[in-house]
Amino acid sequence: MGRDLLTRLDGTTEVVDEVRLDATVDAVGMIVRIESDPTVPALVELVGTHGSKGHRARVDELLPDHRDRGTLLLQLLDDMPMAALISMYGATRAMDDWNLPPEAASNMADLCAGWERGATMLDALERTSIFPIPVGPPAPAIEPAHDPLAWHDLVPLVPRSVRRRRRLDLLPGEPTAMDVHFRDSHMGDDGLEDVLHEYTLAVSLDHDLTVLTSEPAARVLPWPECPGALASASRVVGQPVSALRQLVTSEFTGTSTCTHLNDVLRSLAGATALAMAVR
């Protein structure tokens, strides 16, 4: 679910966009059901396609207007590939005998900073033949007491489930500022929520929504090598937010990057829709 909320200078608020997306993906990653509220008929074309491989390109072709405006629906659809991947965490952490097939580990080697060959995770797998399952710290409350509207309401997490939450605030000024918060969390069988990945990102934009500065901070990451990807965020400086989804997909690869930070950078495309609501 996503919501765009406009807060005026006098403190009054207006919901300018709100979308709910429900999708079911089978065991091999194929989309078997997908629908939205409000209804978008074109989404039916995604049924029978893979929810990760080629998914974002298909979405762009089906929904060019949403692509160009960086809408909430686009943001939700864009998150599906990584949401599907991290959704497996709850089940694997609960299984004492779960392991990653060697061929799968080999295919993902050097995918990002945490998956670098010889780094903590793959080194442990090679030495022990056991895939190390990271366990994050307890998840503190994310809702600020002084701003009850900062996050929309969500249903409670159930055990062995994973949730991705993203907040992107566009703040008027010269230059325009963006304050971004990203968290993946997991609910254990004990009813306690822990954090898997958490970033914040401070961005400034010119009047054309071109990135002037991009300063990330890592709050929680699973492996010691992961913070090494923070420097990649500076590579979006000088780029219009409308170009970031394609740029990150094509160029932000390898051990200098993080797949989750990449998703944060891709989400900056949402500044387009937010700016349209203000102007």
Q: What is the pLDDT of residue 107?
A: 82
pLDDT tens, residue by residue, 81-130: 988 888 888 878 777 666 777 777 788 899 999 999 999 999 988 888 88
Q: What is the pLDDT of residue 97?
A: 66
Q: What is the pLDDT of residue 279?
A: 67
- If one compares 161 and 106, the residue with the highest pLDDT of the two is 161
Q: What is the pLDDT of residue 14?
A: 94
d(CA 106, CA 41): 39
Task: Dig out the tokens for 8 from the structure.
Answer: 């005026």
Amino acid occupying residue 244: L
- If one compares 6 and 126, the residue with the highest pLDDT of the two is 6
Beta-bridge mates of residue 203: 178, 214
pLDDT tens, residue by residue, 230-259: 999 999 999 999 999 999 999 999 999 999
Question: Does pLDDT of 49 surpass 90?
Answer: yes
Question: Does pLDDT of 71 surpass 80?
Answer: yes
Q: Is residue 36 a contact partner of residue 43, using CB atoms and an 8 Å limit?
A: yes
In a 3-state reduction of DSSP, which class is residue 7?
A: strand
For the segment 265-276, the average pLDDT, to the nearest whole number, is 94
Q: Is residue 20 a contact partner of residue 90, using CB atoms and an 8 Å limit?
A: no
Average pLDDT, the chain: 92
